[in-house]
Amino acid sequence: DQQVKQNSPSLSVQEGRISILNCDYTNSMFDYFLWYKKYPAEGPTFLISISSIKDKNEDGRFTVFLNKSAKHLSLHIVPSQPGDSAVYFCAASVTGNQFYFGTGTSLTVIP
C-alpha cells in the first residue's frame, strides 16, 4: 500500500523558524486529508484537516496546503517550538471513514 507517502523520515528546524512537512498521494479520489502528530507511547493527536474543495486551511500556527493537481499536501508550522518535536503523519481518505496513513516524518525543533 503506497497510496500516501512521506518521503522525508526526519526534519530538523531551529526554534522560531518555519517547519514544512510534505506528503504525496497517488489516489485522485481522496477527498479528505488530515495531519496528526504523535509522541512516543501515545496515540496520534489530530492537528488539522482539509477537504478537496479547499486549497488551504489555517489553525493558529498550523496551515495545511493542498495541491490537487500535484497530489501534494504540506503542513506548515510557524513559528516552530520545541514542543512541536514529534512524529507527524498525513492521512487521506475517499469516504472520510478509512484513512490511509503515511509513514511519518520525525520533526525535531532545536532550541
Partner 1 sequence: EPEVTQTPSHQVTQMGQEVILRCVPISNHLYFYWYRQILGQKVEFLVSFYNNEISEKSEIFDDQFSVERPDGSNFTLKIRSTKLEDSAMYFCASNNRLNYGYTFGSGTRLTVV
Applying CB under 8 A, the residues found at the interface with partner 1 are: 1, 32, 34, 36, 41-49, 51, 89, 91, 93, 95-103
Nearer to partner 1, 91 or 107 (CB): 91
Residue bearing cell 487521506: 92
Nearer to partner 1, 43 or 111 (CB): 43
Smallest gap from residue 40 Cβ to partner 1 (A)? 11
Nearer to partner 1, 46 or 72 (CB): 46
SS3 at position 97: coil
Smallest gap from residue 17 Cβ to partner 1 (A)? 26
Write b or e for each residue in 5-19: b if 16 or more Cβ atoms lie within 10 A of its Cβ, otherwise e: ebebeebebeeeeeb
Nearer to partner 1, 3 or 15 (CB): 3
Please give the full DSSP string across 20-68, using - where no structure is assigned: EEEEEE--TT--EEEEEEE-TTS--EEEEEEETT-SEEEETTEEEEEET
Smallest gap from residue 103 Cβ to partner 1 (A)? 6
